[in-house]
Amino acid sequence: MILYALIFAIACFCAALLFNLYRVVKAPGVTDRVLALDTMAVNAIALIVLFGIYEGTAMFFEASLLYAMTGFVATVAFAKFILRGDIIE
Amino acid sequence: MELVWDILISALLVIGGIFGFVGSLGLVKLPDPMTRLHAPTKAASLGVGSVLIASMLWFGVKQGEVTLHELMITVFIFLTAPITAHFIAKANIFRDWPAEKLPRPSGDGEWAVHQADADTSRGELSVERDLAEQAEDDRA
């Protein structure tokens, strides 16, 4: 039962990543692209964790934690650049 | 007992998948930038949170090793999602909303987003420095 739920969740997040990719490529404004990249990072974290359950190893936590941190820093840097034209003032 | 855990973990996985999907669907479907900000920052973080809790339960029940790594990631995402949403909303105001279309802020300032020379290091948290300056003024 868990296996089917796992496959369903993986399919959902893969479709979500495709939607995000569409939004990155074809967006009405630059802030939408930044938002789509941020959502992509969040969905990638979920996908890494799901893959960890599928493989049955606890090896992927560090990868997802690193992904969470770099995704956050990247989004803040993008937004700050749009706002101020500079990242570290 | 085993079956109860199985049902719980499967339900969390399915809920997480649906919320993650809906969050990204909203990013594509919703009509304007400010509404598009809602979908990923709320629905997607809820979806990821429920997937992480499912993973925590799965490793606790099936492998017999309780790990709190996922809790750390969950807390991190739930802390950072509002901050990124706030930053992107500010960038949106800066790009799409001229000062005339916005309501007047309270006090005698302008919106910080539209002040080219705004000192962004002086937020609401710089109360101590304000108090120190006030004390200096009183002495003078």
Which residue in B has a C-alpha nearest to residue A62's C-alpha?
A: B69
- Kindly determine whether residue A38 and residue B40, on different chains, have CB atoms separated by under 8 Å: yes
A73: contact with B, CB 8 A cutoff: no
Size of interface A-B (CB pairs under 8 A): 163
Please give the distance of CA B19 from its chain centroid, rounded to a whole number: 16
Domains of chain A: which residue ranges? 2-84
Task: Look at residue B128 in the predicted model and tell me its pLDDT.
Answer: 62
Would you call A23 an interface residue with chain B, using a CB distance cutoff of 8 Å?
yes
Q: Does B45 sit within 8 Å of A46, measured CB to CB?
A: no
| pTM for the full predicted model | 0.82
Q: What is the number of other CB atoms lying within 10 angstroms of the CB of residue A30?
A: 15
Residues of A in contact with B10 (CB under 8 A): 1-2, 4-5
Predicted complex: ipTM over 0.95: no
Residue A86: the pLDDT is 76
Q: Quick one: which of B16, B136, B110, B51 has its CA closest to A49?
A: B51
Sign of the Cα torsion A7, A11, A17, A18 reads positive
Residue with tokens 């606890």: A58
- Gap between the Cα atoms of B75 and B47, Å rounded: 14
CA distances from B140 to A82, B81, B131, B135 (A): 41, 45, 14, 9
The whole-angstrom separation of Cα A53 and Cα B63 is: 11
B140/B136 Cα distance (integer angstroms): 6
Encode pLDDT of B73-130 as tens digits: 889 999 999 999 999 998 888 888 887 788 887 777 777 777 766 665 555 555 666 6
- Which of A53, A86, A66 lies closest to B16 in space, CA to CA? A53
